[in-house]
Amino acid sequence: MNRNNLENVTYSAQASGCESTRVDNEADQGTRGLKGAEILVSCLVQAGVEVVFGYPGGANLEIIDVLERMKMAFVRVEHEQAAVHAAQGYARTTGRIGVCLATSGPGATNLVTGIADANSDSIPILAVTGNVPTHLLGRNAFQEVDIVSIVKPITKGAYLIKQVEHISGVVDEAISLAISGRPGPVLIDIPKDIQQQYLPYSDEAHPTLKSAADTRQLQPSTRGLSRDQIAECAAMISSSKRPILYVGGGIVSAHAETELLQFSERIKAPVVTTIMGVGAFPSSHELCLDVLGMHGAAYANIAINEADLVIALGVRFDDRVTGNVQEFIKKAQCIHIDVDEHELNKNKQVALPIHADVRTALRQLSNVCGGETRAWRRYCAELKEAFPYPVASGSAISPQRIIAHLCQRVQGDAIVTMGVGQHQMWAMQHFRPTKTRSFLSSSGFGTMGYGLPAAIGAKTACPNRIVIDIDGDGSLNMTVQELATCRRHGVGVKVVVINNQWLGMVRQWQDMIYAGNRAASTMADSVSPTAVEERAEVYPDFVKIAEGYRINAGRVRTWEEVDAALDRMLLDPDEPYLLDVIVESEANVYPMIPAGGTYRDIIMSDESLSPNKMFNQGSNI
C-alpha cells in the first residue's frame, strides 16, 4: 500500500493507433508544435534536471534522441539497475530529484530493485520508462509489461500517460510528489506513440507557456507543531534528566542539520543516529554518540536504553535499530516527530507522536530549555570511552583499520558509498564524514551492488569532491560492469574493495547460527582452508577486470603497502581507480545485537564479551 495513502494515477485516453507521427519538414514541425518526447524533456529542464541516467532501447529512443538534441547530459550505464542507483546517488548528494530512464519490458523491470531501494530509504527519484504503442497495450506485445501495476506498492505515484497533452501536468505532479513530505520514488510510463505525437503550440498544457509561478508546488512541506504540542514537548524536555536525540534520514531529507545541532546544544542532550543519519550530526562533537542498532556502538545502544526521554526525529523504529521492539527504550518517554504520519505509532507506541516537518519543528523548539543533564552527559562519555569500536592491528590488514585510515587520509572530506554486508557496517563504524549528504548506503532495503553506481551518481553531481566506493568483493561483483560507465564518461570514482573472499556477512551468520556450515558463501573459485591473505591468487581478480575496462587498478596485501597505494589512488581526483585491499578473511563485525534481541544481549567480540557491568548504572543517575 502506498505509504502516503495517495492513489496511483493512470492518465488514459482512447488509443490513437499511431506508432509514428515524426515530421521531418521544419516548417511542418513548427506548425505542429512539439512531440511528446520534447515536451517531457522540456518539463525536466524546467524542473532543474541536469542529467539523466539510463540505458537505450526501442521504446525510449525518441526520448534519448531529444536528450541529445537538447544537450541534456545522458549517462549511459551498463544495466538499468545501475541507472536507478546512480539517480539515488545524485539525489542524496544534492537534495534534488534524480532521474533515470529505461525502455519497456526487461528494461523497465530491471529498475524495480532500485525503485524499491529508493522507496525504503525515502530518496526522491523519477523513473521514466518507454512502453509499446497504446494500441498494443494489454496485447502481450514484444517487450510489453504493465510496469505501473508492478511498482505501485513501492512508489509514491505511478503514471501511465495515454494522451500527449497530459505529459506536462503529469511530470510536474510526479516531481512535486517525489520531493514533498517524505521523499520517495515516482514512475512515469510513456508509450512510444505518445512520445512521437505532436502537441500544438496553442495548447495550454504546452510547457513553454508555463510561468515561473507554476514551480511553487515543488516546495517541500513546512508543517509545524501546534501550541499545545510545543508546550507538551517543553514540559517533557525540562523535566528530563537523561534525554537523548534519536536521529535518522529525515533530518537529512529536511535539511535540518543546523537546527539539530542547535537544539541538542540548547537542551544538552546526546545524539545517536541511524545509518541513514550518519553525517547529520558532527562526529567530533562531545554530544555525539554515533550509530545505534544491531551493529552500532555499544555506548549508543546502552545510552538510549538508559535514557528517560527519547526524542525521535525523522526515524521509523526499524527492526535493525530496535531489536525486540517491546523492550526497546522501555524506561523512557518518547516524542516522535516525523513528516510521514503513517510512521507514528506504526512500529513503536510513543507518549507523544507528532506529525510535522522536523526542520520546522526544531526551529519552533529552539527556545525550549532542558533540565540538568551534567551527570547524564558524564555517564555517556564514560560509556564511549569504555566501549570503543574494535580495531585490530598487525601486518595483516584489518578491514576496520583500513577504513579508519582511509577516513584519516581524506580527513573525512569525501563522499563515500558502499555495497551491503560487513564492509558496509565497518564503514558505518569507522568512516566519519565531515559533511552531510556524504555517506550513501542502501540502508533499509540492503541492496548488494548499490555502491559503484551510487558513486557514479554522486560524482556526477559533485565533480569537485572525492567520491569513494567502499565495497565488498561480493557486492562489487554484482555491478562491476559499471566500471565501463566510469571509463566512458570520465567519472572519477575511487573503488576500494574490502576483499576477504567471502560473502562476509553471510559467512559470519553461518558460523554463528548454522554451526559453521558455510554453504554458498565463498567468493573463491574453490573452497580452500588457506586464508585469503595467504593465497597467491584471489578470485575474481578485480585488478584484471578493471584493466579490461581500461581502469587503472592496484592491490595491497600488507599494511606497509597501504599508504603508497592510497597515494596512487588519490593522485588524480578525476581518474577512475580501483584498489583491491586483501583483508583478514574471517574478521567479524562487532558489536552485534542478535536479531530480535536487546542491548543486554550485545556481543562484543568472538569471545562473546558483554558490557553487562555498565547496564544498570543509568538508573542511579
Q: Looking at the annotation, which residues are catalytic?
A: 80, 142-143, 192, 505
- What's 220's DSSP letter? P
Distance CA 446, CA 295 (A): 14
Neighbours of 326 (CB within 10 A): 10
Distance CA 339, CA 356 (A): 5
Could you give the angle at the alpha carbon of 518 between the alpha carbons of 513 and 522, nearest 5°? Answer: 135
Could you give the angle at the alpha carbon of 359 between the alpha carbons of 120 and 169, nearest 5°? Answer: 60
Q: How many residues does the chain have?
A: 621
Number of H helices, E strands in the chain: 24, 20
φ/ψ region of 605 (left if φ > 0, alpha if ψ in -120 to 50, else beta) reads beta
In the structure grid, which three cell numbers stand for residue 407, read together?
Answer: 577516513
Question: For 152-285, where are the alpha helices, taking DSSP H only?
Answer: 167-179, 192-196, 227-238, 249-253, 257-267
> Which residue reads 553506481 in cell numbers?
453
In the structure grid, which three cell numbers stand for residue 87, read together?
Answer: 539517480
CA end-to-end span of the chain, whole Å? 44
Q: How far is CA 179 from CA 274, 395, 397, in A?
A: 21, 48, 42
> Which residue reads 544495466 in cell numbers?
79
Contact 218, 196 (CB under 8 A): no
Q: Comparing C-alpha atoms, which of 245, 240, 237, 323 is closest to residue 289?
A: 245
CA 19 to chain centre: 38
